[in-house]
Amino acid sequence: MLRIPSLMLILVSLTAGAAPQLAMNLSFKSLLLATQSKCPASKVHRATPAALLAAEESFRNQLPHTHQDLLRRVIPRAADGTPQQCVGRGRAGNCRANAELDAIRKAGLMQEFAKAVCARGSAPWR
């Protein structure tokens, strides 16, 4: 089990190179911690919003329908499926990428998403 100082050191080292467009929120930190333990070579900490959103959509599309429905329900959404917090922001990829990551975390699917992220290996996230 990690002690708090160790955990903080990991977060500081992981977030130092994080893409500035992505919010360093609880969901992104959860993803960073999960990938650090599963695949330390992953460069997801440098993901652009568009690359993260593409990975999230790919992940969602391969899930069973029950899990896809859960992802749609765990955060408020507009009629077209856009996360409610992103309505009126045009095609703001950073908002959608962060909102979809929140949905993955709230649905309890972060470990499964981390496995999908790890499958990319050390490929760039552009």
Q: Domain for residue 98, yes or no?
A: yes
82 is written with which tokens? 């856009």
List C-alpha distances in Å: 108 to 89, 105, 112, 113: 27, 5, 9, 10
24 in any annotated domain = no
**60 is a domain residue:** yes
**Position 55 in a domain:** yes
Question: Residue 113 burial by CB count (10 A; 0-12/13-18/19+): exposed, middle or buried?
Answer: buried
Instruction: Look at residue 21 in the predicted model and tell me its pLDDT.
Output: 57
Whether 1 is covered by a domain: the verdict is: no
The boundaries of the domain holding residue 85 are 38-118
Does 6 fall in a domain? no
Residue 106 inside a domain? The answer is yes
pLDDT tens series, the chain, 126 aa: 444 444 444 444 444 444 445 667 889 999 999 999 899 888 898 888 889 999 999 999 999 999 999 999 999 999 988 899 888 876 667 889 999 999 999 999 999 999 999 998 877 787
Q: Strand, helix or coil at 116?
A: helix
Q: Tell me, what's the pLDDT at 126?
A: 78
Q: Please report whether residue 71 resides in a domain.
A: yes
Q: What's the domain count of the chain? A: 1
